[in-house]
Chain A
Amino acid sequence: DAGVTQSPTHLIKTRGQHVTLRCSPISGHKSVSWYQQVLGQGPQFIFQYYEKEERGRGNFPDRFSARQFPNYSSELNVNALLLGDSALYLCASSWQQGRYNEQFFGPGTRLTVL
């Protein structure tokens, strides 16, 4: 079975631009979460979606938005990019929003903002 897939793998943007990152969860998984990982740090939670509804949001500005589609894939959008948005963006899927919430991560999208 395929794992979590993300596209693109790498992206270079300039300040002020907009970016859309995409994620396909493991087949059968209904929950998708997004994380930002700045170099040298642990991942920071951005969003969680379950059954196409937002179930959680981390401490990120409104420039960050996301959505989940009927096939459970997801998009993360970032508007008005800042240099500080440069990071590895990780998508994780889990079967449900359950107690143990074991999450399986994709390879990430490396975003560089110049």
Chain B
Amino acid sequence: TQLLEQSPQFLSIQEGENLTVYCNSSSVFSSLQWYRQEPGEGPVLLVTVVTGGEVKKLKRLTFQFGDARKDSSLHITAAQPGDTDLYLCAGAQRNAGNMLTFGGGTRLMVKP
């Protein structure tokens, strides 16, 4: 059982649709990061959220950290084919030396 559960694992949608990816845990995180990753490349950091209830926006992407800092969501508005990628959440726990624990990832495909 993974410490961070991401859902859905796979998502295939049409261009222009909205979508939400969820990252859930029973553990509290001091911070949570979202990455996107192209095939065969390293993950690229999108955002870091650190405060419970925090909302951050990055163009068409909206990130939210749960009030209890146990969960997070990524919402994409009007998805475009260029959004196609693997999306990863990763949490840091202070009592684990702030090492990152990754979720299993959500593979998003946006069809034109």
Do A and B come from the same complex? Answer: yes
Chain A residues in the interface with B (C-beta under 8 A): 4, 33, 35, 41-45, 48, 55-56, 58, 88, 90, 92, 97-108, 110
Of all chain B residues, the one with the shortest Cβ separation from A41 is: B104
Contacts of B13-68 to chain A: CB distance below 8 A: 30-31, 33, 35, 40-45, 48, 50
B105 touches A101 (CB 8 A): no
A103 touches B100 (CB 8 A): yes
A102 touches B98 (CB 8 A): no
From B43, B100, B105, contact of A41 by CB (8 A): B105
A101 touches B98 (CB 8 A): yes
Question: Is B108 in the interface zone, CB < 8 Å from A?
Answer: no
B103 touches A56 (CB 8 A): no
B98 touches A107 (CB 8 A): no
CA distance A102 to B11 in the complex (A): 27
B42 touches A99 (CB 8 A): no
B45 touches A104 (CB 8 A): yes
Chain A residues closer than 8 Å to B97, beta-carbon distance: 48, 55-56, 97
Chain B residues in the interface with A (C-beta under 8 A): 2, 4, 6, 30-31, 33, 35, 40-45, 48, 50, 88, 90, 92, 94, 96-105
From B41, B45, B96, B105, contact of A107 by CB (8 A): B41
B98 touches A105 (CB 8 A): no
A105 touches B100 (CB 8 A): no
A105 touches B104 (CB 8 A): no
Q: Given that A33-B99, A88-B40, A97-B97 are contacting pairs, would A102 and B33 also be in contact in the complex, using a CB cutoff of 8 Å?
A: yes
A99 touches B99 (CB 8 A): no
